[in-house]
Amino acid sequence: MVSVRSVVDRVGPTLLQAVLVPQVCPAVADVVIAEPGTAQVSAGDLVLGVGVTNLDEAIALVRQCADREAAAVLLKPPLATKPALRRAAGAAGIALISVRAATAWAQLVWLLRTVLDAVSGDDGGEGSDELGSGDLFRLADVVASVVDAPVTIEDTNSRVLAYSARQDLTDPARVSTIMGRRIPDDVFARFRSRGVFRELSRGRQTIFVPAQRDGTLPRLIVPIRMGGELLGSMWAVVAGPVSDERAAAFADTAPVVALHLLRRRAHADAQRRASAELLRAILEGKAGPRKAIAELGLTEQAHRVVVVDTAHGDTADAEGVRLALLERISQGIGQRPVATELAGLLYAVVPDGDGPGSWTELRAALAQQPGVHRVAAGAPVEIGELPRSAKQAEETLGMLRAGLLPDQVGSFDDVWTALVLHRTATAAAAAQVAELGPLEKLRSHDDDSHTEYVDTLYQSLRFPGDPRAAAKSLRIHPNTFRYRMQRMLEIVPLNLDDPDVRLALLVQLVSLRWA
């Protein structure tokens, strides 16, 4: 377990400031979002007062959390620094933490849970000094002392995995990087334009980037490699050029960090495989909703199954491509989707709606990813009905692949008209309805004479009494459309004034076009 003071130190003064920390307070167990009157606070919780807007509410929340033996209450200024609130926290014996005003609560929740996860994976315990313990945050502090500068440890996608103390001595670009847990797009573009990432891939031991005109301080960067593979990088914000000795010492820490990243990746891969296997069982109806909620972190709310069809299909490197895609998606939404692979497709389960990690966020993130060909989502269902949502997503994907939908993204509940036509056409095709009546003669004439009477008939039935709309859909002049209809009726006499004839012909034509 980790103390409140340790959590504040690990997150750092960039985001958190300890207003009051009692000498004795519960160890931190979890992070919760709460308001006054909540009953969801448990012993050891870090309670984020997201909905607290005045001093009376804040004092009430502090007292209620203390009664439930929570570890600390986190509030934004000016509430967090009010003397009356500090006195209330002192009297109640609970820690009071001030959160930087510009910090997004969702980012803070993620960051705090990342810190707690790092501690829970620390085999050596909180007091251990062994570098092999897996605590990247403590390792970042060690590396920072070597280079005498604040350090971030980042993966190959520029996502921040850990960072050292003293980040308050850096610049706005570093603050934004830590708050967003990755290099902001504009900062990333500036570093890329200076060839930084190209140099990282070339095997340089250290890379020095001078100060920039926008106020960004110099950076000393060290790639992290193991066996020739680039695993990530370390970024130190320095005052200016660094001596060769100190730069070499900074580079010498890379192999130790590489071991931690490899261990972290192995652990993540093992967890990913276990989650993927469980998700496969759930989608196939072999595991129940209780197991999904307990082991995959799903909630009781409605979820969708999303199927992603990538450019690589079922090639040898497809699995790696899809995993890389999932990593990139995770950076663009509030949380990483529960995902697995089946038959060369990426399946993900996401909450319905517009919240963090939802279908709305995932859809937007996928739209920006190269290599994504088609995305299909089932309707929102309860956890126990995920196999049904998966079947719906697969049916929608089949229609996307067949070109029956105008876009490359579709959700089952939004494309119901196309689904009705497709299912009707499939049943009609199985009954061979298109072979009945005079339609077969018209199809043969089109094949032999290279005419387009079948298409003309279809559009005339789609736009009854509106020759201009029918002509527009065929991209011909209305007079040409009228001439075609006249010639068609000479070849195949049809009573188009009879509604049953029109309906029968439309069913036949739908079976040809939508099956």
Residues 174-189 have pLDDT tens digits of 888 887 777 888 888 8
pLDDT of residue 379: 93
Amino acid at 136: L
Within a domain: 125: no
When pLDDT is cut at 50, 70 and 90, the band that residue 214 belongs to is confident
When pLDDT is cut at 50, 70 and 90, the band that residue 105 belongs to is confident
The answer on 194 and 137 residing in a single domain is yes
pLDDT of residue 97: 95
Q: Which of 245, 263, 281 is the last residue of a domain?
A: 263
Q: pLDDT for 383-436, tens place per residue? A: 889 999 999 999 999 989 888 888 888 899 999 988 898 888 888 888 888 888
Residue 73 has pLDDT above 50, yes or no: yes
Q: Where are the alpha helices (DSSP H) in 121-206?
A: 136-147, 172-180, 185-193, 196-201
Rounded to an integer, the average pLDDT of 308-319 is 61
Residue 146: CATH number of its domain: 3.30.450.40
> How far is 42 from 30, CA to CA, in rounded Å?
9
Rounded to an integer, the average pLDDT of 103-123 is 67
Helix axes 386-401, 416-430, angle to 10 degrees: 80
Q: Which of residues 493 and 293 earns the better pLDDT score?
A: 493
Within a domain: 275: no
Rounded to an integer, the average pLDDT of 299-325 is 70
Q: How is 108-128 classified by DSSP, letter by letter?
A: HHHHHHHHHHHHHT-TT-TT-
Are 50 and 35 spatial neighbours (Cβ–Cβ below 8 Å)?
Answer: yes
Residue 234 has pLDDT above 60, yes or no: yes
Rounded to an integer, the average pLDDT of 119-134 is 44
The answer on 92 and 215 residing in a single domain is no
Within a domain: 229: yes
When pLDDT is cut at 50, 70 and 90, the band that residue 127 belongs to is very low
| CA trace torsion 145, 148, 152, 154 (10° rounding) | -90
Within a domain: 286: no
The b-or-e profile of 426-444 (16+ CB within 10 A means b, else e) is eebbeeebbeeeebeebbe
Within a domain: 289: no
Residue with token string 């229609």: 399
Residue 468 has pLDDT above 70, yes or no: yes
Residue 368: CATH number of its domain: 3.30.70.270
Are 95 and 25 spatial neighbours (Cβ–Cβ below 8 Å)?
Answer: yes
Q: pLDDT for 134-161, tens place per residue? A: 478 888 888 888 888 999 999 888 888 8
Partnered with residue 374 across adjacent β-strands are 309
Residue in 70, 90, 56 with CA at minimum distance from that of residue 28: 70
Residue in 246, 220, 244, 222 with CA at minimum distance from that of residue 234: 222
Residue 320 has pLDDT above 70, yes or no: no
Residue 116 has pLDDT above 90, yes or no: no
Q: pLDDT for 157-168, tens place per residue? A: 888 888 888 887
pLDDT of residue 332: 47
Rounded to an integer, the average pLDDT of 257-271 is 75
User: Model-level pTM?
Assistant: 0.51
pLDDT of residue 125: 40
The answer on 141 and 219 residing in a single domain is yes
> How far is 54 from 58, CA to CA, in rounded Å?
6
pLDDT of residue 339: 79
pLDDT of residue 267: 67
Residue with token string 């620390």: 122
The answer on 235 and 169 residing in a single domain is yes
Within a domain: 458: yes
Are 377 and 360 spatial neighbours (Cβ–Cβ below 8 Å)?
Answer: no
Residue 380 has pLDDT above 80, yes or no: yes
pLDDT of residue 268: 67
Residue 334 has pLDDT above 60, yes or no: no
Q: Which of 213, 241, 263 is the last residue of a domain?
A: 263
- Phi then psi for residue 96, to 5 deg, are -125, 125
The answer on 472 and 375 residing in a single domain is no
Which of these ranges, 93-102, 318-327, 348-357, 415-424, has the smallest mean pLDDT?
318-327
The answer on 138 and 239 residing in a single domain is yes
pLDDT of residue 38: 55
pLDDT of residue 18: 92
Residue 319 has pLDDT above 70, yes or no: no
Residue 341 has pLDDT above 90, yes or no: no
> How many domains does the structure of the chain reveal?
4
H-run or E-run covering 375: strand 372-377
Within a domain: 279: no
Domain that holds residue 481: 430-514
> How far is 330 from 328, CA to CA, in rounded Å?
5
The answer on 258 and 143 residing in a single domain is yes
Q: Which of 65, 90, 120 is the last residue of a domain?
A: 120
When pLDDT is cut at 50, 70 and 90, the band that residue 34 belongs to is confident
pLDDT of residue 221: 95
Q: Which of residues 388 and 336 earns the better pLDDT score?
A: 388
Residue in 218, 287, 224 with CA at minimum distance from that of residue 251: 224
Within a domain: 270: no
The answer on 360 and 259 residing in a single domain is no
Percent of the chain with pLDDT over 90: 33
Q: How far is CA 51 from CA 33, 36, 121, 263, 338, in A?
A: 9, 8, 32, 39, 29
pLDDT of residue 19: 94
